[in-house]
Every structure is written in C-alpha cells, then in structure tokens.
Structure 1
Amino acid sequence: MNIAAPITVLVVDDEPIALAAHADYVRRLEGYQVVAEANGMSAALAFLNDPASPAVQLILLDLNLTDGHGLDLLRRIHGLGLVPDVVAITAVRDVQVVRSAIALGITAYLVKPFTFAAFRDKLESYSNYHAVLAGRSHTSQDAIDRALSQLRPTGRLDLPKGMLPETLRAIADWLRTQHSPVSATDAAAGLSMSRVTARRYLDHLVETGSASKAPRHGSPGRPELQYSWHHSPPG
C-alpha cells in the first residue's frame, strides 16, 4: 500500500510565541511535516531562495510582519516562480485585505484568535482538497468541484437538537470579549437569556474546544462553574 508523503509546511510569523505554537499545532496533525519556521519576510525569503531547502507545499502565513506585509511576501514568492498553497493566519479583518489575499491565491483564511480545534478543522479541509488533486497532471470538472468544496463547505454547522447557530455565535462572541472567567449567570445577564440556555451553549463551547470551565471557589454554597475563552497565542 502506498503511503502518501507528508505535506511540507513553512510557518511564517514574527511573534516567537505564535510561530512556535502554530508549528506545534502542525506537528500534532497527521500528514504534515514542518520543514522550517521563519520569523518574518526576510527569513522566509532566505529559506525559499536556498537551493538546499526542501520544497514547500503549504505556507502558514501571518500577514502583519514587522519587516513587510504578508501579501508582499506572497508576491515575492510568486516572483521566484514558486506557487505553494497558502493559509493566511492573521488578526487582519479588513475586507480589502481579504479580497487581495484571495486574488493572490490564498487557499484559506484563519482569523486570530482561534482554537486548536478551529486550526485542525481548517487544515483537515486543506488535506482533503490536496488529496483530491494530488498526483494529477490533468483533472476533471467533478474533481475540481470536489476539491473546491473541501475548502468552501456550504453546509450548516451540525449542532445538537434545539441549538441555534445564531445564539451560539452570540455567546461565543460575548465570551471572547470577557477579560476574566464568567459564570452562566453572568452570560445570562449579559445576553438577556435564561441561565439554563446560557449554560447549555457554554458547555457546548467547552465540548468543542473553544472554551474551558472550572469551579469558581470562594463563594458560599455550591461552587459555580466559570467559563473562559481559549485564546490563541499573540501575533
């Protein structure tokens, strides 16, 4: 049985903590191999220009680099005659930047902060896309459609019965902005909903890896659970 070679990855980020964390995220996934970590545009170009460097199939690219913009780096990479796939990993939400990234061929866009679960889902989608087209010199309309559908899934989130995507999004957005752990009672008050409803959605965020929970001690009676959003490393 033929075993597919791992997808080779270059991680580019000028924040040391984020660079190390994102490289570690990749190493936790099957089918990927980190071949280099670059702390900015110059380091990335030096690696890609080195004839001794292994080929790079995928770049995880932060857009806000101290020595240049990620999109400028992508243009320089194209100027070298290289066409790796690119996943933008960035806090940039400006629509024009997103449009420019798409125009330059960015395969996927992951907005900081994010959890490992979100990172894993994005790269699993990319793996499926890569698998459909791998090893082909020619393809078909069906294969192209299947490959693109892996990058741009159109289905709704599969939520437990009775849960609404809009409510889940509202609670997630609210929890993300809290600077200290909060209880279901706090969430209910902040979002004008029942405590039971708030707790159900908060527990779902914990189950999916987007949040964590722990007992809140120091108050009389039974300890109340407190919830915190899982932020990614800075960058």
Structure 2
Amino acid sequence: MIKVLIVDDDFMVAKVHAGFIQRTPGFAVVGVAHTGGQALVETERLQPDLVLLDIHLPDINGLELMHQLRDVAPDLDVLVISAAREVETVRKALRGGIVHYLIKPFSQTDLHERLEHYLSAYQGLDASKVEAEQSDVNRVFGLSVSERTLPKGCSVETLELVESALKTAPGDLSAAELAEQLGTSRVSARRYLEYLHDEGALEVRLKYGVGRPERRYVLKGR
C-alpha cells in the first residue's frame, strides 16, 4: 500500500484530493497538511511514500519545501498538484526530481492515471530486480511502444503482433516458428525478437542439437 500525504492550503481541495486517492486501489491517505510547517512535521512522523504537494503555501514555496521534506524522508516521492503554470516553476519542479506535475483544476481521471503510472512504474522498478532493464527505465519515463526507436525496416504494428504471439505461446518460440505464425521471413522475425531481448523483455534459451544451438525466446517471468 502506497502511503500518501496531501499538502494543500485549501481545506476543501485537500479533502477532494483525499477522496480521489482513497478510491484508487493501492493507495491510502495517511495525513493532510495545510502549511509547510505542518507538512514537515507530518512527513517526519508518518514517513509517507508519496506527497501530493501544492506550490502555493502560506509559509513557504512548495519547491523549497520539497527539499526540506526529503531531508526528513530521503526516499520520498513528490507529485506536484498546483495552479502554478509558469514554465520556470515547472522546470524547477522537474529539476527537483518530481514524479509528475498536475495543473489544477484536473479531473479524478487525470489524477488516477498519474497514480496508476506511479504504482506500476516507480514502485515496480523498486521491487522488481537488482538491475534495471531498458524496458523498466522506459516504463518509468512513460515511453510507449510507439515512441521507441525501432530497428530499420520494423514497424510498431508488427512489433505488437510479435509481443501478442509471445504472450499467448505455451512456451518459448524460435524465430522460424514465429515467422511461420505471423507470415513473415525468419530474418524479420529474429530482428523483432532480438530487439525485445535487447529491451530486456525476453529471455533466450539455447536448444542444442546437430549444428549450432537454436535460439528460443520467451517472455521474462514465464
């Protein structure tokens, strides 16, 4: 369960945000603060995983407060929720290492999407393994399949078919088997498989027989 502290000077807005978060599986509101001073005390006391932080607070700028909060909770993540739209403010927030910047007003769906991304990407990276694969890093930074730099001659549409075939396969697949299933050449099928292997999404198993061992591919974790 992700422990969340809400920091907002508006009592009603903080209450609304708390309601949004409580309706998102995997998250629990552990506290609310309306000033920077309160936020510092509550962060040290509660040690939340994530703070929803407003920029405009009565006693301190939220970006200055962010560094103080991390002094008492070094592993703290920060999601800025603010009406502040100045480009320089957004830049400073990004340099400060926030997980997202959500401009008020926003809908429950907007916040839900950010929380879901945080849960799957940031928390998943922490718990998954000792070393990160490129696919793990892509997920943290929100890089979708359509934004990847694919090998020359490859398409997003075919890559999605390859990934679907791997997901539905009862076991590992060779390039020849995948090529027959998709109606492509073996060279093309291997190009996609090797790309996914380089991304860290696949494991390679060698099948020994006569001649060179056959490379067989399977999704990690299967």
Correspondence for 2:11: 16
Secondary structure, counterpart of 2:137 in structure 1 = helix
In structure 2, what is the equivalent of residue 147 of structure 1? 139
Measure the CA separation in 2 of the matches of 1:105 and 1:149: 12
Distance across 2 between alignment mates of 1:146 and 1:66: 37
Per the alignment, residue 112 of structure 1 pairs with: 104
1:143, distance to aligned residue in structure 2 (A): 4.6
Q: Which one of the candidate residues 16, 20, 38 is aligned to 1:43? A: 38
Equivalenced residues, count: 147
Aligned to 1:122: 114
Deviation (angstroms), 1:128 = 1.4
Q: Which AA in structure 2 matches 1:10? A: L
Code of the aligned partner of 1:109: Y
Distance 2:18 2:52 in 1: 9
Alpha-carbon separation, structure 2, partners of 1:64 and 1:11: 13
Structure ranking higher on relative contact order (CA contacts 8 Å, 6+ apart)? 1
SS at match of 2:98: coil
Query: How far has the Cα of 1:17 moved from its partner?
Result: 0.5
In structure 2, list runs of 5 or more residues that go unmatched: 148-222
Which of 64, 85, 95 is 2:77 aligned to?
A: 85
Shifted more, 57-66 versus 135-144: the winner is 135-144
CA distance in 2, matches of 1:136, 1:98: 30
**2:138·2:144 contact (CA, 8 Å) conserved in 1?**
no
Question: Which has more helix, going by share of residues?
Answer: 2
Could you say if the C-alpha distance between residues 78 and 36 of structure 1 is closer, same or farther in structure 2, counting changes exceeding 3 Å? same
What is the deviation of 1:155? 5.7
Amino acid at match of 1:23: A
Please, what TM-score do these two structures have when normalized by structure 1? 0.58
Higher Rg:
2
Query: Is contact 1:77–1:83 with CA below 8 Å preserved after alignment?
Result: no
Secondary structure at 2:85 match in 1: coil
Identity %: 30
Q: CA RMSD in A?
A: 2.1
Q: Distance in 1 between matches of 2:44 and 2:78?
A: 17
**1:100-134 CA-partner distances (Å, limit 9, x unpaired):** 10111011000001111111111111111134213
Contact 1:60 1:86 (C-alpha < 8 Å) held by counterparts = yes
Which segments of 5 or more consecutive residues in structure 1 lack a partner in the other structure? Answer: 1-5, 157-235
Q: Partner residue of 1:57?
A: 49
Contact 2:43 2:73 in 1 (8 A): no
Rounded Cα–Cα distance in structure 2 between residues aligned with 1:75 and 1:17: 26
Q: Quick check: 1:29 aligned with 2:24?
A: yes
